[in-house]
Amino acid sequence: MSNVDALFLPLSIKSIKAKNRIVMAPMTRNQSPDNIPNEKSLAYYRKRAEGGVGLIVTEGTCVNHIAASGYPDVPYFYGQERLAAWGAIAQAVHAEGGSIVPQLWHCGGMRKKGALPEGDVDGYTPSGMNVPGKVNRHVMSKQDIDDVIRAFAEGARDAKALGFDGVEIHGAHGYLLDQFFWEGTNQRTDEYGGSLENRGRFVAELIAACRAEVGPEFAIILRWSQWKQQDYQARLVTTEKELEAFLHPLVEAGVDGFHCSQRRFWEPEFPGSDLNLAGWVKRITGLPSITVGSVSLDADFIPLPGEQVFRDGKPESIDRLIAMLDRGDFDMVAVGRALIANPDWANIVRQGDISGLRAFEKAMLMSLG
């Protein structure tokens, strides 16, 4: 295995002071009854911090909007009891020497009527579409847009008050923010639709509102992706020039770093260069970028036909990852399924021998181990 020293250099992103370059990727676990993180949740995150992770990004946690949630037993980021539970998790991670940010989330059109506890509330989308061409959800008004922006800003404010190290905004994977980005689901004719700049306006305004609540030094990270769970081949941009046009307003609004979601981190983003998505984002913006996508596993996460959960994966070499990090392509590396299987993934990798890593199996998703 390659020399792994680059993975264990410290990194600061404003208020985030990570002891190394390893990030726990956000992964929905559906293990929070009554939408409240519990003692099992606390132990789950603390174990990864104890295992050597530098920065933990929590599972998606829903902002204070009536239609933010779309799945059972996901945690919320509002309400006294829920926030107190999140504050205890942040303290536990800090006690183990780790940093932690909550991922603020709105499911948008991925919500279906009937999802509890909100029940008959419809999914909110820019144009009533969960998938391109099919209007079957609530079309957001300007007031709806303002309400969601306010909910994210309140979440960022509360994250800072609870002692988190920063905040990550979930703008990826076909959820609400990404549904505004994506031309396939954004067919609006007002200032929030049409051009690439207009389709990014909602998220830029949301980021600016978060920045106004937390001040200049509290770190705001945006997670985004080309692919959507509605269409794994979808792309927001197809050229470096389009990517620059997409990113610039977000940087101007106050983003401090980008979490660039790919299914396979090693895949180049544009022809003529071996840079991946995180590599291009760092080159264009100069800001820290996080790569992710099947790190140390031999198969990506896309479910097999007829299945709805992550695929199994066996341990795989990280030599290519280390080479890309050494070259300066990106600044941090997010690890997902491999950290479910191996809470001490970081400590094992630091020892220089990954033969002790366990394979990821779908059954591991059934509990918070």
The region, left, alpha or beta by phi > 0 then psi within -120 to 50, assigned to residue 20 is beta
Judge whether 14 and 219 are in contact, CB under 8 Å. Answer: yes
**Rounded Cα gap, residues 38 and 86, in angstroms:** 9
Per-residue H/E/C for 71-110: CCCCCECCCHHHHHHHHHHHHHHHHCCCEEEEEEECCHHH
**Rounded Cα gap, residues 41 and 62, in angstroms:** 16
Task: DSSP for 41-74, please give it.
Answer: HHHHHHHHHHTT-SEEEEEEEE-SSTT---STT-
Instruction: Give the three-class secondary structure for 134.
Output: strand
Residue 319: both structure tokens together:
């030599």
Q: Which of 124, 175, 192, 232 is catalytic?
A: 175
- Residue environment code for 332-356, b if the CB has 16+ CB neighbours within 10 A, otherwise e: bbbbbbbbbbbbbbbebbbeeebee
* Active-site residue, 175 included: yes
Q: Is the dihedral of CA 249, 251, 255, 258 positive or negative?
A: positive
Judge whether 210 and 169 are in contact, CB under 8 Å. Answer: yes
Q: In 10 A of CB 52, how many CB atoms?
A: 22
- Residue environment code for 79-103, b if the CB has 16+ CB neighbours within 10 A, otherwise e: eeebbebbbbbbebbbebebbbbbb
- Active-site residues, by number, are 175
